[in-house]
Every structure is written in C-alpha cells, then in structure tokens.
Amino acid sequence: MNNATPPDAPPPDATPPSVPIETVHEIRDQCLCFAAQRAARRLARRFDRLFQDIDLTNGQFSLMVSLMGKIQPRLGELADFLAMDQATLSAGVKTLERRSLLTLVADDDDGRVRRAVLTSAGRALVAKAVPLWRAEHAKLQAEQPQIDARALALLMAGLG
C-alpha cells in the first residue's frame, strides 16, 4: 500500500482556499435553497409557538392535515407527499400514534404495507388547530402584503 501524498495535493498544513466575499453575498442573496431553508425555519418556529398551547408542532399539524381527506396513504406515499425521508416520517407517526392521534392499519391488499389514519382525537385536534392557523396565516399575510401567499405556496410546490 502506497501512503505517499498525491503530487497535486496541498501540504497538510496549508490554508484551505477561500471563497471571495462577493461569492458569499451572491449565494446569500440569490440562492433559493438558502432562502427557503431560512424562511422555513423561521416559519416553523412561529407556528410551533402558535400550536404550543395545544401540544402540537407545525410538523405534526402538517402531517395530520395530510391525513384529513378520505385517502389513507401508504407511509411511503405520505413521505413523498410531505417531501420527508422515511425515518423522519416514521418518528413523527410513532409520536402521534403514542398520543392516540393516529393509528396504522394494514393495507387490504398487502398486510406488510401500513396506512396512517387519523383517530377521532386526531381529527378533533386538527379542527382545534385550524382556526389558530387561519388567524396566524392572516397575520403573516398582513405583515407581508406584497406577497401573495397562495401564489408563493404554489410556486414553491412546483420546485423540486
């Protein structure tokens, strides 16, 4: 085995190359991913505070709202819809399941596949959260009147 340093590798004590500050500013000011992540974290904290009194997080609210329709999605379908990885979704589902807010049922065609279904307690909690969400969303829209929240949400939904 050859432990020699490749000829084009910098010496181990060399200062790593730097990125010009103009590039840093370009990324800060133009990168959609960076901006979306920052905005998402701010909004998540805001809605976490909003739902705190009803013992709900914004992530749990989103997951539960996704289950309010007549469709009982497979966990993989739910993860895809929420743009979450399976492990994160499973952790969230387990938390809600322990609180008896949702239950997992076996698929009719394949017993190995599980589908998430809100319980009546889960549906009641979402119903309690919706007026809070509406009021906070209206407040957010009033703070940013130049932004059409619906149009922005549709735009972001199309990214990916």
Burial readout 66-79 (b: 16 or more C-beta within 10 A, e: otherwise) = bbeeeebbebeebb
Question: HSE of 15 in the Cβ direction (CA atoms, 13 Å)?
Answer: 3
| Residue 53 parent element (H or E) | none
In a domain, residue 121? The reply is yes
Residues 6+ away with beta carbon under 8 Å from 81? 66, 73
In a domain, 13, yes or no: no
Q: Say what the pLDDT of residue 109 is.
A: 85
In 3D, which of 99, 106, 90 has the Cα closest to residue 121?
Answer: 99
Distance CA 19, CA 22 (A): 8
Q: Is residue 10 part of a domain?
A: no
Residue 10: the pLDDT is: 64
- Give the CATH number for residue 149: 1.10.10.10
CA distance 69 to 72: 8
- Residue 102 pairs with which residues in a beta bridge? 118
Residue 142 lies in a domain: yes
74, 75, 105, 155 from 112: Cα distances, Å: 11, 11, 10, 36
Report d(CA 115, CA 66) in Å as an integer: 12
> Does the residue 6 lie in any domain?
no
Q: What is the pLDDT of residue 112?
A: 85
pLDDT along the chain (160 residues), means of 10: 64 78 93 92 97 97 94 91 93 97 90 91 98 96 92 86
Q: Is 11 contained in some domain?
A: no
Do the domain assignments include residue 7? no
Phi, psi of 26 (to 5 degrees): -60, -45
Total domains in the chain come to 1
- pLDDT at residue 89, rounded to an integer: 95
**pLDDT given at position 110:** 85
- pLDDT at site 140: 93
User: Is position 47 within any domain?
Assistant: yes
Residue 66 structural domain: 23-155
**pLDDT value of position 103:** 95
